[in-house]
């Protein structure tokens, strides 16, 4: 967010706080740019179905989160709301990147959950011959958990509880959709000025593989948050890898420093066994031979879990109990998002979230009306069957082009980029 006023935006999650002051606090020139952006767009490649008038969207400021692509803060000319615009560049370089981007796009359009970032819109693509980049509009979030953890801003136990509650609430939804995020880290947990948290960046996400004989790729999760089964070379892993990452983040929220900050994957594993003790052979059953030999060659370590109480004065019995259920070496014994949400440590976070932060409950003159389902799941699951028949760049390009046009079926006026805008040149780089 650069020089933006997000520091001042990060408040305590107090009841009754008005959400989303970003638009009100935006610099004057941004408002002017928004007004200037509302004009009919002269498109070089008119499609027959572009009957509605199109509106330009004008990038004004980079904000930059996400592993793939650039994110800008923009104003939606249809309603003046501040939103985030993500450019997915170099989509059509090869089949692998085509598929990755299409999967992410499909997921962003599939998600309907307040703790998971989703696509509000996709900008109109040009004629397919000129179609090189994809622009996705999402909600604008002022900060992320990494920026907050490294900031001098105090983090109360209420903050920690309401953040952890929302991470697990979003993750329960993702896992119910059959999706592994695979890169849960503080920088991928966006936070707005009202402390609402959304999981973002599905560039590495994929559908879980129920067949244990099928190999899965190793290029997952930033090292500090990487689960021991991945560090030990397991060829198959489950959504428990995301829970491990959440455990690391929970400890980081409490201690304000990275829990396992190692220089290499082997040292990463050593730091984990320093805390958890030497794992049993049973817990290492899916590990590769080399990793198992490394553990057995080393000294036998006793667990040192009580050290977690020294993370912070907020590391209460309840907090450490839940943390220890997440930081379990054996993924089959690690707590699930659903079960973690039932832990008493999260009761206060749930109450706070649904009292003044959620969109699922509402207040009437006679009091708060709570939703019947505090942590909803999705049904049906996300279906990745579309990936099987993607065989060439040209074919995927046509399918993505068609997919984007189909997303416009609603009654909103379609948006496209304004190539005349001052910021456009730096945006397309």
Specify whether the CB–CB gap between 145 and 249 falls below 8 A. Answer: yes
Residue 271 vs 360, nearer CB to Zn ion: 360
**Of 388, 328, 347, nearest in space to 207 by CA:** 388
Q: How far is the CB of 218 from Zn ion (least distance, A)?
A: 38
Q: Is the dihedral of CA 163, 168, 174, 176 positive or negative?
A: negative
Question: Which CB, 366 or 372, lies closer to Zn ion?
Answer: 372
Q: How far are the Cα atoms of 48, 58, 133, 185, 332 from residue 90, in angstroms, in the given order? A: 27, 21, 7, 25, 38
Measured between alpha carbons, how far is 57 from 79 in angstroms, rounded to an integer?
A: 12
Has 60 been annotated as catalytic?
Answer: no
Q: Is 86 annotated as a binding residue?
A: yes
Q: CA–CA separation, 325 vs 335, rounded Å? A: 6
Nearer to Zn ion, 41 or 172 (CB): 172
Bridge partners of 198, per DSSP, are 190
Give ∠ CA 46-138-32 in degrees, rounded to 5.
Answer: 75
Other CB atoms within a 10 A radius of the CB of residue 363 amount to 11
What is the spatial distance between Cα 144 and Cα 195, in angstroms, rounded to a whole number? 10
| Helical (H) or strand (E) element with 29 | helix 28-37
**Residue 207 C-alpha from the chain's centroid:** 15
> Shortest gap between Cβ of 49 and Zn ion (angstroms)?
38
Cβ 141 to Zn ion, closest distance in Å? 19
Please tell me which residue in 183, 270, 330, 384 is annotated as part of the active site: 183
Contacts of range 294-297, beta carbons closer than 8 Å, 24 or more positions apart? 294/266, 294/269, 295/232, 295/269
Which of residues 41 and 350 has its CB atom nearest to Zn ion in the complex? 350
The minimum distance between CB 252 and Zn ion, in angstroms, equals 27
In angstroms, the CA 196 to CA 353 distance is 8
Compute the Cα dihedral for 295, 298, 302, 305 and give only its sign: negative
Nearer to Zn ion, 36 or 361 (CB): 361
**For Zn ion, the closer CB: 310 or 371:** 371
Spatial distance between the Cα atoms of 75 and 182, rounded to a whole number of angstroms: 31
- Do the Cβ atoms of 135 and 87 come closer than 8 Å? yes
Closest CB 320 distance from Zn ion, rounded Å = 28
Dihedral-angle region of residue 19 (phi above 0 means left; psi in -120 to 50 means alpha; beta otherwise): beta
Q: What is the binding site for Zn ion (CB under 5 A)?
A: 354, 358, 360-361, 371
CB of 16 to Zn ion, least distance (A): 15
Q: Point out the annotated binding site for ATP.
A: 86
Which are the catalytic amino acids? Answer: 183
- Binding site, by residue number, is 86
């Amino acid at each position: 967010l650069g020089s933006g006023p997000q520091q001042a935006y990060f408040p305590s999650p107090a009841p009754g706080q008005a959400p989303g002051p970003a638009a009100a606090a935006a610099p004057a020139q941004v408002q002017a740019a928004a007004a200037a952006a509302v004009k009919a767009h002269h498109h070089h490649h008119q499609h027959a179905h572009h009957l509605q008038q199109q509106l330009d969207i004008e990038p004004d400021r980079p904000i930059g989160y996400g592993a793939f692509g650039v994110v800008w803060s923009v104003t939606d000319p249809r309603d003046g709301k501040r939103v985030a615009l993500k450019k997915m560049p170099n989509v059509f370089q090869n089949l692998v990147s085509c598929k990755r981007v299409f999967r992410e796009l499909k997921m962003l359009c599939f998600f309907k959950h307040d703790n998971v970032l989703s696509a509000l819109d996709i900008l109109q693509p040009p004629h397919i011959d000129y179609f090189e980049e994809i622009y996705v509009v999402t909600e604008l979030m002022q900060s992320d958990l990494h920026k907050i953890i490294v900031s001098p801003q105090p983090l109360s136990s209420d903050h920690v509880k309401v953040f952890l509650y929302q991470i697990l609430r979003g993750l329960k939804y993702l896992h119910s959709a059959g999706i592994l995020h695979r890169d849960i880290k503080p920088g991928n947990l966006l936070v707005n000025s009202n402390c609402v948290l959304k999981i973002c960046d599905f560039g590495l996400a994929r559908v879980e593989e129920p067949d244990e004989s099928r190999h899965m790729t190793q290029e997952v999760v930033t090292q500090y948050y990487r689960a021991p089964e991945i560090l030990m070379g397991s060829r198959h892993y489950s959504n428990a890898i995301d829970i491990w990452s959440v455990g690391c983040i929970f400890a980081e929220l409490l201690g304000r420093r990275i829990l396992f900050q190692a220089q290499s994957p082997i040292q990463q594993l050593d730091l984990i066994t320093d805390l958890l003790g030497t794992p049993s052979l049973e817990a290492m059953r899916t590990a590769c031979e080399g990793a198992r030999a490394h553990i057995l060659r080393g000294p036998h370590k006793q667990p040192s879990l009580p050290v977690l109480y020294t993370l912070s004065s907020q590391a209460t019995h309840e907090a450490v109990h839940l943390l220890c259920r997440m930081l379990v070496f054996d993924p089959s014994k690690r707590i699930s998002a659903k079960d973690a949400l039932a832990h008493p440590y999260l009761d206060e976070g749930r109450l706070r979230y649904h009292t003044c932060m959620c969109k699922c409950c509402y207040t009437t003159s006679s009091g708060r009306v709570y939703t019947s389902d505090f942590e909803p799941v999705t049904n049906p699951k996300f279906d990745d069957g579309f990936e099987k028949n993607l065989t060439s760049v040209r074919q995927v390009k046509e399918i993505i082009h068609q997919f984007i046009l189909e997303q416009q079926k609603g009654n909103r006026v379609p948006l496209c980029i304004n190539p005349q805008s001052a910021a456009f040149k730096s945006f397309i780089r």
